[in-house]
């Protein structure tokens, strides 16, 4: 391959601008279609789990159902609360949707592709700040939900917005903490560097299993998906922050939810499953080629699709948490344990460096065994169902039996009421 093809395309400013524009148009077009089809996939997965057919009448196999739903929402009447803030009411769904899309901009979804003007990265914006950019933009999404609840001038919407802001702030901290061990291993915040580290040093789901579980739980909470969908909570808050919305404004919140799912799934695939790296082969890590780009794109899509399916599977399997359980899990468990885990991984990496053990099979094996020990200690030895469940009684078993015996004795002393016959004496 010639030296021109091996140089980054960013060295040619004109070609770089044209390539960036093409990437933006193509990617976001595919992104929007994928998000629309995820709504169909959600309904198909739920039907499969519940032994139903799901949508199957609009188009072959129901493939046109998302288009029919979108057309229906476009045709519906736009309503807005008379006492609400009209500007913020209209701006809120746009904020929630746009932040979900922009968060994907730094994720490389395939290996670099060679062009006549140089090698082109398949991240839309290959920023040096990498994952920090994604965290910063994703954290802005809570403003759309909070503004939706406040601008509606509806107490149910306001409660949903406040719940969402408290929930997302709580779990953003745990999510950020779970990524610090990944950055310690990679030595860089750029997502491309994190992928390259996993190519040589093993996937982080083995190196940092506990960090992966923490990130997974936080991602479910950040996207307001079951069992963490407390901001919507249809059984308690009518429909949460989007109670007053209709037509496409209403739909944009659901589009934003699926867009956030797609972004979170792409991040998990990148941070813990090697990104676009094809497992069990080093062929994809050599000189760039179109074939490598296509195959690595397929690999990344399969990994992302796995997490998307997991989102849907969990939704139709687990019940919703109570709000005190939600906050207890975030503040009493994930945050302090994540801090301790960071110290443990940093110390381990320092010891391995002093022993001369570099990235490879041996380091991966040591870190994996360490993570297994942490998980066993956390969930089997120390927890035993107490820490994660604030409903567990603080009383001893003997005290609980004493109170139950008193309750039974009191019930026996109360005479049963005579039913009224309905006849006068």
Question: Residue 245: which domain range?
Answer: 3-392
* Model confidence pLDDT, tens digit, residues 86-102: 888 888 888 888 888 88
Is residue 200 situated within a structural domain?
A: yes
Q: Does the structure show a pLDDT above 80 at 13?
A: no
Q: Is residue 41 part of a domain?
A: yes
For range 299-311, the mean pLDDT: 93
The span from the CA of 342 to the CA of 197, in Å, is: 18
**160/149 Cα distance (integer angstroms):** 6
Residue 417: pLDDT band with limits 50, 70, 90:
very low
Instruction: Flag whether 161 is in a domain.
Output: yes
Predicted local confidence at residue 389, as pLDDT = 53
* 424 found inside a domain: no
Residue 411 counted as domain residue: no
pLDDT at residue 388 is higher than 70: no
Return d(Cα 267, Cα 273) in angstroms, integer: 9
Domain for residue 371, yes or no?
A: yes
Provide the token pair at 38: 């995820």
Contacts 24+ apart (CB under 8 A), 60-69: 65/39, 65/40, 66/36, 66/37, 66/39, 66/40, 67/36, 69/39, 69/251
Is residue 400 one of the residues assigned to a domain?
A: no
Is residue 252 included in any domain, yes or no?
A: yes
CA 41/CA 46 separation, integer angstroms: 8
Model pLDDT for residues 395-414, shown as the tens digit of each residue? 667 777 887 787 777 666 55
Across the range 232-252, mean pLDDT stands at: 73
DSSP SS3 for 325: helix
Instruction: List C-alpha distances in Å: 38 to 226, 259, 409.
Output: 16, 9, 57
**pLDDT for residue 154:** 82
Of the ranges 102-116, 138-152, 374-388, which one carries the lowest mean pLDDT score?
374-388
Instruction: Please calculate the CA angle 131-315-149 and round it to the nearest 5 degrees.
Output: 70
Burial class (CB in 10 A: 0-12, 13-18, 19+), 168: buried
| C-alpha–C-alpha distance, residues 365 and 367, integer Å | 6
Instruction: Report CA Rg, the chain.
Output: 26
Confidence of residue 370 (pLDDT cuts 50, 70, 90): very high
Rounded-to-integer distance, Cα 193 and Cα 128, Å: 10
Number of domains in the chain: 1
Classify the C-alpha dihedral 175-178-182-183 as positive or negative.
positive
Residue 215 has pLDDT above 80, yes or no: yes
């Amino acid at each position: 391959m010639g030296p021109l093809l091996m140089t980054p395309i960013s060295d040619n400013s004109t070609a770089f601008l044209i390539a960036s524009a093409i990437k933006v148009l193509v990617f976001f077009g595919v992104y929007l279609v994928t998000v629309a089809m995820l709504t169909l996939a959600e309904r198909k997965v739920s039907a499969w789990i519940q032994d139903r057919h799901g949508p199957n009448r609009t188009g072959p196999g129901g493939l046109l159902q998302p288009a029919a739903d979108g057309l229906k929402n476009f045709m519906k009447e736009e309503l807005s609360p008379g006492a609400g803030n009209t500007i913020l009411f209209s701006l809120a769904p746009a904020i929630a949707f746009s932040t979900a899309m922009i968060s994907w901009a730094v994720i490389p979804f395939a290996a670099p592709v060679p062009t006549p003007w140089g090698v082109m990265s398949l991240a839309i914006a290959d920023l040096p700040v990498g994952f920090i950019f994604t965290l910063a933009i994703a954290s802005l999404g809570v403003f759309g939900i909070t503004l939706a609840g406040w601008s509606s001038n509806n107490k149910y919407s306001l409660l949903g917005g406040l719940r969402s802001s408290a929930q997302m702030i709580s779990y953003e901290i745990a999510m950020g903490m779970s990524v610090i061990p990944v950055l310690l291993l990679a030595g860089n915040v750029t997502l491309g560097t994190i992928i390259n580290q996993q190519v040589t040093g093993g996937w982080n789901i083995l190196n940092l299993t506990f960090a992966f579980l923490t990130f997974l739980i936080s991602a479910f909470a950040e996207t307001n998906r079951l069992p963490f969908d407390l901001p919507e909570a249809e059984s308690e808050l009518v429909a949460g922050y989007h109670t007053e919305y209709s037509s496409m404004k209403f739909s944009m919140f659901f589009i934003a939810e699926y867009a956030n799912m797609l972004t979170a799934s792409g991040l998990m695939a990148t941070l813990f499953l090697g990104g676009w790296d094809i497992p069990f082969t080093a062929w994809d890590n050599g000189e760039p080629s179109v074939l490598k780009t296509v195959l690595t794109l397929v690999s990344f899509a399969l990994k992302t699709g796995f997490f998307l399916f997991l989102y849907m599977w969990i939704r139709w399997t687990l019940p919703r948490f109570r709000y005190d359980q939600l906050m207890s899990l975030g503040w009493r468990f994930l945050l302090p344990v994540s801090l301790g885990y960071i110290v443990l991984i940093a110390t381990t990496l320092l010891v391995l460096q002093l022993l001369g053990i570099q990235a490879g099979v041996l380091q991966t094996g040591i870190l994996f065994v360490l993570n297994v020990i942490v998980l066993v200690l956390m969930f089997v030895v120390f927890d035993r169902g107490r820490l994660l469940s604030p409903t567990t009684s603080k009383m001893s078993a003997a005290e609980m039996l004493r109170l139950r015996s008193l309750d039974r004795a009191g019930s026996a002393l109360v005479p049963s009421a005579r039913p009224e016959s309905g006849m006068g004496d």
